[in-house]
């Protein structure tokens, strides 16, 4: 990275991080909502562990993977809404008049998602472990869980950037939230794939990448060190990030031509 690009990225990253930290409305729901659902689901579905073949006797441990994905979904909204606001207020147009590199803009904007991802992951893991969840892989897995969570959060953040650049409206970005929630709901969120007894639901969940992101977290929480699910989880996050960045870069070019 040359000096100019480094300065551009750091300035935009600083702005993105400060902007995220100064908006409790972005941070609080991203922390409270997943933790509330964690508490309700962990208690309400504890009896699911009595099903033959359920991988653990603690539903809390099983469902602790879910807040990491829910938190990442908030990243789509936050990164996308921030950029959409920049478009709506004309800030992007002003940036376009500077010699700013497109990659610097996108990378810098993701810094807010990165920081929020760390805060979220630390909060979910701390609350989960304090509430009695197990961590089969031991304390050494904590940085891996944080890294996986941040990777997914940033990867989903790129989709938010793409949506903002493509539609140029915060309302359109907000409208994506239910769509992404559908992906979460149609996954192995509540029960392991093997215990999804409804055929069509099993087929959808098995094809849904979210199921494998959840499996990566669960491998560390329930099984211990299993390299396969972890590699798959990081690989899917990397693939989403690559596709999201490519799409956002293309949309940025189009957006700048338009303006």
Partner 1 sequence: MIAVARAVAWRSIHNFLTNPAFLAPAVMFPLFFFVSFAGGLAAIGDVPGFDFPSGYTAFQFVFVLLQSAAFGGVFTGFAMARDFESGFGRRYMLAASRRSGIVAGYALAALFRSFVTWVILTAVALVAGMQVDGSGVDIFGLYALAMLVNVAATLWAAGVALRVRSIQGGPLMQFPVFLILFLAPVYVPLDLLDGWIHTIASINPVTALLEAGRGFISGDPILVAASFAIAIGLTLLFTLWARGGLRSAEAAG
Q: Please report, as ranges, the residues that interact with partner 1 according to CB under 8 A.
A: 29, 36-37, 40-41, 43-48, 50-51, 175, 178, 181-182, 185-186, 189-191, 195-198, 200-201, 205
Give Cβ neighbours of residue 135 (< 8 Å, ≥ 6 apart): 129, 141, 142, 220, 221
Q: Cβ of residue 181: shortest distance to partner 1, in angstroms?
A: 7
* Comparison of 51 and 242: residue with beta carbon closer to partner 1: 51
Please answer whether residues 121 and 71 qualify as being in contact, where contact means their C-beta atoms are separated by less than 8 angstroms: yes
* Comparison of 201 and 234: residue with beta carbon closer to partner 1: 201
Q: Cβ of residue 93: shortest distance to partner 1, in angstroms?
A: 27
* Comparison of 95 and 195: residue with beta carbon closer to partner 1: 195
Q: Cβ of residue 174: shortest distance to partner 1, in angstroms?
A: 10
Rounded Cα distance between 147 and 77, Å, is: 21
Please answer whether residues 173 and 163 qualify as being in contact, where contact means their C-beta atoms are separated by less than 8 angstroms: yes
Numbers of helices and strands, H then E, in the chain: 12, 0
* Comparison of 36 and 91: residue with beta carbon closer to partner 1: 36
Q: Cβ of residue 133: shortest distance to partner 1, in angstroms?
A: 15
Please answer whether residues 136 and 222 qualify as being in contact, where contact means their C-beta atoms are separated by less than 8 angstroms: yes
């Amino acid at each position: 990275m040359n000096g100019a690009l480094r300065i551009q990225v750091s300035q935009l990253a600083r702005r993105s991080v400060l902007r995220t930290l100064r908006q409790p409305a972005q941070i609080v729901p991203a922390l409270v909502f997943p933790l509330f659902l964690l508490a309700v689901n962990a208690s309400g579905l504890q009896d699911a562990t009595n099903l033959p073949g359920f991988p653990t006797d603690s539903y809390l441990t099983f469902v602790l993977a879910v807040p990491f994905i829910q938190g990442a979904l908030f990243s789509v909204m936050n990164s996308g809404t921030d950029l959409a606001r920049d478009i709506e207020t004309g800030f992007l147009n002003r940036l376009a008049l500077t010699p700013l590199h497109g990659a610097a803009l996108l990378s810098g904007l993701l810094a807010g998602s990165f920081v929020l991802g760390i805060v979220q992951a630390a909060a979910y893991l701390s609350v989960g472990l304090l509430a009695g969840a197990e961590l089969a892989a031991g304390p050494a897995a904590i940085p891996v869980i944080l890294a996986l969570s941040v990777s997914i959060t940033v990867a989903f953040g790129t989709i938010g950037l793409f949506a903002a650049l493509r539609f140029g409206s915060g309302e359109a970005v907000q409208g994506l939230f239910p769509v992404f929630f559908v992906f979460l709901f149609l996954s192995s969120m509540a029960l392991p794939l093997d215990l999804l007894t409804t055929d069509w639901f099993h087929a959808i969940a098995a094809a849904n990448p979210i199921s494998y992101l959840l499996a990566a977290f669960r491998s560390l929480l329930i099984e211990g060190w299993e390299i396969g699910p972890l590699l798959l989880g990081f690989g899917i996050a990397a693939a989403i990030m690559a596709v999201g960045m490519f799409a956002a870069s293309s949309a940025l070019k189009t957006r700048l031509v338009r303006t």
